[in-house]
A and B are shown apart, each in its own frame.
Chain A
Amino acid sequence: MTGKRLSGVTAVALAGILMVVLMAAGCLGSQPSGSPASPSQQITVTGSTTVLPIAEKAREAFEDLYPSTRVLVSGGGSSVGVRAVGEGTADIGMSSRDLKPEETGMYPGLVTHHIADDAVILIVHPDNSIESLTLDQVRGIYNGTYTNWNQVGGPDLDIVVVGRDSASGTREFFAEYVMNKEDFTKNQEEFNSNGGIQQKVSQTPGAIGYVGLGYTDGVKSLKIEVDGTPIEPTLENITSKKYPITRPLFMLTNGEPGGAVKEFLDFIMSEEGQQIVESADYIPVQG
């Protein structure tokens, strides 16, 4: 009995050690099939979740082209990207907004590379009969002037205003471009990602939200009226700048890029890279 209990302690200790060893062994012993030997150099890319899909897709193609280079991509947000590049914890930062004065003050060496454009799309629930809004109506909804869809030509239904968090680059763009810096209504529900807004709007009949181009599954994109003509956010209309709400997307480096970092940025700006931009639902900068 006593022996049993003591061996119980040993068993626990042994099991613990065994588990760690197994983890280590299992991990080191089984490199996934088809993965090349560890590359000789790596570059890290971090920042805006809006730009992330481009970097991620470009990474796959780039690593096939340059097997000796490894690219590590992570998200976090525009400010994380700026900070990481400025602090030197990443080689390339991604940002969906212009640099702020505080940031250029802190990291004077930052260089911006305009790699793509994005449109901001107004989305509503698929059952909502509303088809188009003017920018003034959008502003009225978001500052709390209109609280029911029948005030803007829709059904008799309370409006649920959904937007991004106040640190978001997308919201900042929206606040400047659509809201003219007016305050949002206090009842605005806030999400920290395009996916969150898309999910919320797709299941809430009265909701309205704004997202990037790639997030329009399961929701209805609104046309925006410009001089009385409703403009649909099609690729063509966005590229020709007919659709009014578009913004640039950036990659940042600390100083002029060189070596593998330059190769990666050049790749994104190449024809193949810009096709990747398009396939990720963004607008290429070099048509």
Chain B
Amino acid sequence: MKKEEPAAVRSGYPGWSGHSWTWSELPSTGTKRHIIDLIISKLLFIVALFAILIVFFIIGFLLRDGYQIVLETGIWNFLAGVDWNPTGSPPSFGILPLIVGTLLVTALAMAIAVPLSMATAIYIAEIAGPRTKAVVKPAVELLAGIPSVVYGFFGLILLTDWIRILFDRPSGSSWLAGSILLAIMAIPTITSVAEDALSSVPREFREGSLALGATRWQTIRSVVVPGAVSGISAAVILGMGRAIGETMAVLMVTGNAAVIPDPITNVFSPVRTLTGTLGIEMGEVAFGSLHYHALFGVAVVLLAITLAVNGLARLIIRQMQRTPARSRAPGPLMQAVHGLIPGSLPHRAKRRIIHPKTTQKFAFLLISIGVVIVLAALGAILLEIIVNGAGAISLEFLTAPPSDLGRAGGIFPAIVGTLYLVAGALAVALPLGIATAIYLIEYTADTRLTRGIRAAVDLLNGTPSIVFGLFGFAFLVLFLNFGVSLIAGQITLGLMVLPTIIRTTEESLRSIPKSLREGSYALGASKWQTVWRVVLPPALPGIITGAILSIGRAAGETAPIMFTAVVFSNRYLPSSLFEPVMSLPYHLFILTTSVAGADDQKFGTALVLLVMVLSIYLIAILIRRRYNRATVINNG
């Protein structure tokens, strides 16, 4: 299998201390190594606790401002009241319609996104040739880089209108519009992570299955997908986190009427989600009023729902990890999960009438249709932006500060501000995230503490970005007195992408075979040496994927920086971390919603943002490809 592995341990490699060990130099006594190991494991432990700490902080700050509403209205009236009318006389704060709206929009979005994502992931991992794969995989990842403001803008202009005309409704702003948009946004996240999980299923499994005479489709359905089921579930949870937490795009297309659809299956009814409520009302609510506290109450409920959804998902995963991949009798939960994966329900061989080859053709056709739909959605949005935005691009547009509310001049300060924010967010999240993942996978068994940390990470992942924004404002801007500043935005964004980085890093560390670690120990390497030289290198592609997804999110998010880091317009570049900055997504948001007659600049800004994300992705993808080529030889 991997004959070269000992060499990996042998060759000198700079560790954190900057000291480069070589095999002959290793201290014979082992005390020094032992101390280093001890220090590192304690450090990792402390960092890993950070996730739990953040969760408590966020919950604490939300409760601090949210409990008053329950005192006022009573818990039952708040949760089960059907009237949300905070400015009525008398005001009423019933959030049942918002809860129902959130659940409906998310459920339908996942029903659309999961099959399409699975089709695309299976296509990329199992069916596509290397050339096609090299095009489709980055293309899908790119979808993640389109900022939610842009999606919302498109939803508002094209999607809702299309729904209105196609189904002949008075208005197209609806539950359906929100779900379609959320599905498009969740697909790249789910696909990327699921594809990594599928790709990490050992080759021997596939070869064994094919050698027994199974078709490629049977192999995918009965061997590869069940073998990757934990990673796929992680992918779905990540995607759901993205969907529940989405604010900007949803509030632009669902109509935001606080009604429960009547009948409950009426997908054309306008709905209002919890995030949408925070997104449209938080900005202008009177500080300290009952309405203000009600919104914090909404945020608490949102977190509770996230926790419940995550708890359920974790239960499913645990159930699946207990069941061996090729078990004959899947439990009810397994079957529910299998139901999500098209064509994966085990059927009885005796009743088979259709030839396996025919089934395979049909399955591959369905998968191809799914991939085409995903790529068409990407293509349509990209084309629209490029065609409309190309005219706005000029040297002045790229190098000058804006004037006349962004109707003239350029967006240079916004470009720089976004780069600063993304770089800062990564600087915060990458070390923390990777250290946490290493601690969870390499340094502990499954204890109550690690379960707590993982639960905290899941909860953070599902925390809507707007809640991070509120937390950043309450904690960083006011409590720590940073003011509206670059550093507050960087930390807020960093916390927001932390769970993505932890989850993807964990997943890729988990896929490293145990034998590698054992081989390293057998040669006398210490724990840390093993992690640093043997486990981390082959896990890099997964880590890079996580970083790519995070860049896409951090560069495109508006909600977390709205209250923490940005100014509408700024002639100068920030000269310190404590000054506010301009940013591309916020600039786009303002141009879209508050400035009439800036169409060129709007599309131009969107185009620049896309190109920027695209080039960051491209660098990362090139690195990953170069790296993959190096490991293919090792795995071959």
A-to-B contact residues, CB < 8 Å: 1-6, 8-9, 11-12, 15, 19-20, 23-24, 26-28, 30-33, 35, 38-39, 44, 46, 48-49, 52-53, 56-57, 59-60, 63, 70, 72-80, 82-84, 86-87, 89-90, 100, 102-103, 106, 157-160, 165-169, 171-172, 175, 181, 183-184, 186-196, 198-200, 203-204, 206-207, 214-215, 217, 280
- Interface assignment of B626: CB less than 8 Å from any CB of chain A: yes
Contact check, B634 vs A74: say whether CB atoms are below 8 A apart: no
The distance in angstroms between the C-alpha atoms of A206 and B596, with both chains bound, is 22
Most A CB atoms within 10 A — which of B13, B280, B580? B280
Closest chain-B Cβ to A109's Cβ sits at a distance in Å of: 15
The distance in angstroms between the C-alpha atoms of A191 and B173, with both chains bound, is 11
Closest chain-A Cβ to B592's Cβ sits at a distance in Å of: 6
The distance in angstroms between the C-alpha atoms of A232 and B260, with both chains bound, is 38
Contact check, A203 vs B157: say whether CB atoms are below 8 A apart: yes
Which stretch in B189-197, B282-290, B381-389, B455-463 binds the other chain?
B282-290
Chain A, residue nearest B415 (CB): A27
Cβ-neighbour of A73 out of B540, B569, B573 (below 8 A): B569
Q: A6 with B537: in contact, given A192-B251, A192-B593 (CB under 8 Å)?
A: yes
Contact check, A72 vs B567: say whether CB atoms are below 8 A apart: yes
Chain A, residue nearest B593 (CB): A193
Contact check, B272 vs A190: say whether CB atoms are below 8 A apart: yes
A2-B7, A106-B287, A106-B288 known; 20 new pairs, CB 8 Å cut-off, are A2-B634, A6-B8, A11-B626, A35-B572, A44-B484, A44-B580, A53-B594, A53-B595, A57-B405, A75-B283, A76-B283, A84-B484, A89-B483, A167-B87, A167-B283, A175-B87, A191-B251, A195-B594, A196-B156, A199-B156
Contacts of A86 in B (CB 8 A): 287
Contacts of B173 in A (CB 8 A): 189, 200
Closest chain-A Cβ to B388's Cβ sits at a distance in Å of: 15
Chain A, residue nearest B97 (CB): A186
Contact check, B287 vs A75: say whether CB atoms are below 8 A apart: no
Contact check, A5 vs B634: say whether CB atoms are below 8 A apart: yes
Closest chain-A Cβ to B472's Cβ sits at a distance in Å of: 13
Chain A, residue nearest B566 (CB): A74
Q: A188 with B281: in contact, given A12-B544, A206-B170 (CB under 8 Å)?
A: no
Closest chain-A Cβ to B594's Cβ sits at a distance in Å of: 5
Contacts of B289 in A (CB 8 A): 100, 102
Contact check, A166 vs B405: say whether CB atoms are below 8 A apart: no
Contact check, A15 vs B619: say whether CB atoms are below 8 A apart: yes
The distance in angstroms between the C-alpha atoms of A159 and B288, with both chains bound, is 36
- Interface assignment of B86: CB less than 8 Å from any CB of chain A: yes
Contact check, B287 vs A78: say whether CB atoms are below 8 A apart: no
Contact check, A190 vs B257: say whether CB atoms are below 8 A apart: yes
Contact check, A82 vs B88: say whether CB atoms are below 8 A apart: no
Contacts of B570 in A (CB 8 A): 72
Chain B, residue nearest A63 (CB): B571
Closest chain-B Cβ to A171's Cβ sits at a distance in Å of: 7
Q: Which of the four size classes fits the interface of chain B? A: 35 or more
Which stretch in B324-332, B395-403, B445-453 binds the other chain?
B395-403
Cβ-neighbour of A2 out of B8, B160, B412, B571 (below 8 A): B8
B-to-A contact residues, CB < 8 Å: 4, 7-8, 11, 13, 83, 85-89, 156-157, 160-161, 164, 170-173, 251-252, 255-259, 270, 272, 279-289, 291-292, 399-401, 403-405, 412-413, 416, 419-420, 423, 427, 477-478, 483-484, 536-538, 540, 544, 562-563, 566-573, 575, 580, 590, 592-597, 616, 619, 623, 626-627, 630-631, 633-634
Closest chain-B Cβ to A176's Cβ sits at a distance in Å of: 10
Contact check, A89 vs B569: say whether CB atoms are below 8 A apart: no
Q: A35 with B401: in contact, given A165-B280, A195-B593 (CB under 8 Å)?
A: yes
Q: A79 with B257: in contact, given A20-B427, A199-B156 (CB under 8 Å)?
A: no
Contacts of B562 in A (CB 8 A): 76
Closest chain-A Cβ to B84's Cβ sits at a distance in Å of: 8
Closest chain-B Cβ to A229's Cβ sits at a distance in Å of: 29
Contact check, B87 vs A166: say whether CB atoms are below 8 A apart: yes
Q: Can you list 16 A-B pairs with a CB-CB distance of less than 8 A?
A: A11-B627, A32-B573, A39-B572, A59-B569, A60-B403, A73-B568, A77-B282, A102-B286, A102-B287, A106-B287, A106-B288, A190-B280, A192-B280, A192-B283, A204-B171, A217-B596
The distance in angstroms between the C-alpha atoms of A56 and B11, with both chains bound, is 60
The distance in angstroms between the C-alpha atoms of A46 and B485, with both chains bound, is 13
Chain B, residue nearest A160 (CB): B171
Q: A79 with B419: in contact, given A8-B626, A166-B281 (CB under 8 Å)?
A: no
Chain B, residue nearest A168 (CB): B284
Contact check, B594 vs A183: say whether CB atoms are below 8 A apart: no
Q: A12 with B563: in contact, given A82-B286, A183-B88, A189-B270 (CB under 8 Å)?
A: no
Chain B, residue nearest A86 (CB): B287
The distance in angstroms between the C-alpha atoms of A35 and B87, with both chains bound, is 46
Contacts of B13 in A (CB 8 A): 6
Contact check, B257 vs A74: say whether CB atoms are below 8 A apart: no
Contact check, A8 vs B540: say whether CB atoms are below 8 A apart: yes
Q: A9 with B540: in contact, given A204-B171, A214-B596 (CB under 8 Å)?
A: yes
The distance in angstroms between the C-alpha atoms of A168 and B256, with both chains bound, is 14
Cβ-neighbour of A89 out of B259, B478, B597 (below 8 A): B478
Closest chain-A Cβ to B246's Cβ sits at a distance in Å of: 15
Contact check, B281 vs A4: say whether CB atoms are below 8 A apart: no
The distance in angstroms between the C-alpha atoms of A69 and B80, with both chains bound, is 53
Contacts of B288 in A (CB 8 A): 102-103, 106
Contacts of A100 in B (CB 8 A): 286, 289
Contact check, B568 vs A32: say whether CB atoms are below 8 A apart: no
Most A CB atoms within 10 A — which of B170, B258, B272, B634? B170
Chain A, residue nearest B574 (CB): A27
Contact check, B626 vs A167: say whether CB atoms are below 8 A apart: no
Q: A181 with B89: in contact, given A166-B291, A187-B257, A203-B157 (CB under 8 Å)?
A: yes
Contact check, A78 vs B284: say whether CB atoms are below 8 A apart: yes
Closest chain-B Cβ to A3's Cβ sits at a distance in Å of: 7
Chain B, residue nearest A76 (CB): B283
The distance in angstroms between the C-alpha atoms of A203 and B161, with both chains bound, is 7
Contacts of B279 in A (CB 8 A): 192
Closest chain-A Cβ to B587's Cβ sits at a distance in Å of: 11
Contacts of B400 in A (CB 8 A): 32-33
Chain B, residue nearest A15 (CB): B623
Closest chain-A Cβ to B562's Cβ sits at a distance in Å of: 7
Closest chain-A Cβ to B177's Cβ sits at a distance in Å of: 11
The distance in angstroms between the C-alpha atoms of A25 and B471, with both chains bound, is 31
Contacts of B568 in A (CB 8 A): 52, 56, 73-75
Contact check, B537 vs A9: say whether CB atoms are below 8 A apart: yes
Contacts of B156 in A (CB 8 A): 196, 199-200
Closest chain-B Cβ to A166's Cβ sits at a distance in Å of: 5
Contacts of A200 in B (CB 8 A): 156, 160, 173
Cβ-neighbour of A5 out of B567, B616, B630 (below 8 A): B630
Contacts of A186 in B (CB 8 A): 83, 257-259
Q: A103 with B537: in contact, given A8-B627, A60-B404, A206-B170 (CB under 8 Å)?
A: no
Cβ-neighbour of B537 out of A8, A80, A169 (below 8 A): A8
Closest chain-A Cβ to B314's Cβ sits at a distance in Å of: 31
